[in-house]
Amino acid sequence: MVPARGALFHFLDVFQRKRPQPERQFTLGGMLVRMEMIAMDTGYPRLPTDTDNGLLLILSGPSGVGKTTITRGVERAIGDSVFSVSYTTRAKTEADTEGVDYHFITDERFSELLAEGAFLESADVFGKKYGTRKRWVDEQLARGRLVILEIDVLGAQQVKDKMPDAFGVFILPPSEEELLNRLRNRKRESEEQIQKRFAEAKREIAFAKESDVYDTFVVNEDVETAIAEAMEKVAAARLNRA
């Protein structure tokens, strides 16, 4: 059985570090693999699908704006995109899938990684920690992928500080009234909790507009139109930076 892509990348990385020849070939799971080093000094083996058009995409927006739907739409539509799965210390639920929803780790392991500088961004949300692993992002960018981070405004600020070439897109609602309606229509929380989320959403929108974190804004009045607009802006950003 051929291993998953992530496991293959890890195996190739370990193999190369042990045997640093410029080009090798070997058999893995019945599949002949040829590899050569990526031209830039990354330490990652070059794969046939690699390009030199990597871009780090930050997607943010307030609760209820539809950013997850837009993020997944962009990911599905752009063939070389990869979605960054965050690390978290929160408990895994029955609905969660390891490596798909989150990478679940202990508080002790999270603290170790944080001390090592392993996270591109991290946050403590109601006592639960979340972080984006920098090494994985660097590897995917070196391979020419569109790396998608769906993170909040504070995480986006951390990423931009460390990687100013990242392309930031903030999703806006058509109006504050429409955003409040969407929060209510989810029927997940009490009116008091909805009002707290709404107040936080207004603060996030104000921050996004006043900061230099985001390169562009997309209004989600119609989700398919918003996905198409986000894709056009991402394509233009990649073309301009090629």
Class of the 55-241 domain? alpha beta
User: Is a pLDDT exceeding 90 seen at residue 209?
Assistant: yes
Which pLDDT value is given to residue 23?
41
- CA atoms of 18 and 138, how far apart (whole Å): 20
Q: pTM to 2 decimals?
A: 0.78
Alpha carbon distance 44, 37 (integer Å) = 6
pLDDT per residue over 1-23, tens digit each? 434 444 444 433 433 333 333 34
Host H or E run for residue 107 = helix 107-115
Q: Where are the domains of the chain?
A: 55-241
Contact assessment for residue 128 and residue 37, using Cβ atoms and an 8 Å cutoff: no
Alpha helices in 173-222 (DSSP H): 176-185, 191-210
Bridge-based pairing state of the strands 31-37 and 23-28: antiparallel
State residue 55 phi and psi, 5-degree precision. Answer: -150, 135
pLDDT in tens, 33-77: 444 444 445 566 777 777 878 999 999 999 999 999 999 999 999
DSSP letter for each residue of 168-186: EEEEE-S-HHHHHHHHHHT
Contact (Cβ atoms closer than 8 angstroms) between residue 223 and residue 66: yes
Element containing residue 160 per DSSP (H, E): helix 153-162
